[in-house]
Amino acid sequence: MVDAAASSGLHALLDDLAAEQQSLLDLLRGLGDDDWLRPTPARGWDVRDTVSHLADTDEMAIATATGAPGSLNARSEISASGEDVTFRGVLRGRRGSGRDVCAWFESSTAALHEMFLTIDPNERVPWGIGMRPPSLVSARLMETWAHGLDVHTAVGVAPVDTDRLAHVAWLATRALPYAYTVAGREPPGEPIRVELTLPSGAPWSTGPADAPNRITGSAGDYCRVFVHRMTVDSASTLRADGDAATDALRVARAYL
């Protein structure tokens, strides 16, 4: 039996994911042919490559969640590295025009939403180290937002942050143990309190209220640090109190 509360929470998350994807699609639909070939801050990738990656990853997520061919694990088994897994989607996009890739992304987002509406929100999906569908929705929102920043930079349009960053901040904080693993280090034993201000001015927080290790600042800076679109040193609003908090920002990583 599907839990009604879990299903309702998933639907709310999906609404925010749809809004994030629609925001990027609105920008993409207005691009000219040359704009798709503009270089992004991701070395070696232009706008077309970036959007191809998003569309391809959507399709990988669908296959992974449903057990269909083309899952993340299946592709990893036939690829030499994680970079090769990613580059397969980029190469597919390079065989078409920017408009073709835009249509692909539009199709993949629609299929992704259909898939999430058909699966049990409590069943774990073998994505990365494993996660439930709500977390995977947050992961797709995070990646759409992060790569959307790259597209905005490439075409010279300033991005507008929204309170959807609450999902990115939640995922980023939950991913701290994984970030330490990637860094080859043991996470500190001390809990960390994170207190952020969302773009609307609303507060967002997680962690014990009395934790001596604290990170405070804007959600925009915090999330950009965790998706590696901003360095800690240039995140002017962020403040870390305590060694564990300072260290957390140094190893920050919100993606696989």
Q: What is the pLDDT of residues 138-167, one digit of tens each?
A: 999 999 999 999 999 999 999 999 999 999
Can you tell me whether residue 45 is helix, strand or coil?
A: coil
- Which residue intervals of the chain are DSSP H helices? 4-28, 47-66, 72-77, 82-94, 98-116, 133-155, 165-174, 176-182, 219-226, 243-251
Section 175-198 average pLDDT: 94
Query: 220-248 in b/e burial notation, b at 16+ Cβ within 10 A?
Result: bbbbbbbbebbeeeebeebebebebbebb
* Percent share of the chain, pLDDT over 90: 86
Structure confidence at residue 219 (pLDDT): 98
| Helices 47-66, 82-94: inter-axial angle, 10-degree rounding | 120
Q: 113: number of CA atoms within 13 Å, CB side?
A: 18
Average pLDDT of span 59-66: 96
Q: Is 204 helix (H, G, I), strand (E, B) or coil?
A: strand
pLDDT at 196 over 80: yes
Integer Cα distance of 16 and 25 in angstroms: 14
Q: What is the pLDDT of residue 168?
A: 97
Question: 2 falls in which pLDDT band (50, 70, 90)?
Answer: very low
Q: Indicate if the pLDDT at residue 208 is higher than 80.
A: yes
**pLDDT surpassing 70 at residue 8:** no
pLDDT tens-digit map of 114-130: 999 999 999 999 988 78
pLDDT of residue 256: 74
SS3 call for 198 = coil
pLDDT at 210: 96
Mean pLDDT in residue range 190-208: 97
Distance CA 218, CA 199 (A): 8
β-pairing, 213-218 vs 203-206, is unpaired
Q: How high does pLDDT run on average in the chain?
A: 94
Cα dist from 89 to 10, 42, 189, whole Å: 27, 15, 39
**Which residue, chain included where needed, has tokens 């929470």?**
9
Looking at residue 186, what DSSP letter applies?
P
Cα torsion 201, 207, 210, 211 to 10°: value is -110
Q: How confident is the model at residue 79 (pLDDT cuts 50, 70, 90)?
A: confident
Residue-level pLDDT at 47: 98
Residues 69-80 have a mean pLDDT of: 89
- The stretch 188-210 carries a mean pLDDT of 96
pTM of the predicted model as reported, rounded to 2 decimal places? 0.94
Strand partners, 204: 196
CB atoms closer than 10 angstroms to residue 255: 17
DSSP-assigned letter for residue 14:
H
Element (H, E) at 217: strand 213-218
What is the length of the chain? 256
Least confident of 35-44, 122-131, 152-161, 237-246: 122-131
Q: Which domains are assigned to the chain? A: 4-141 (1.20.120.450), 165-251 (3.30.1050.10)
What pLDDT is stored for residue 7 in this prediction?
Answer: 54
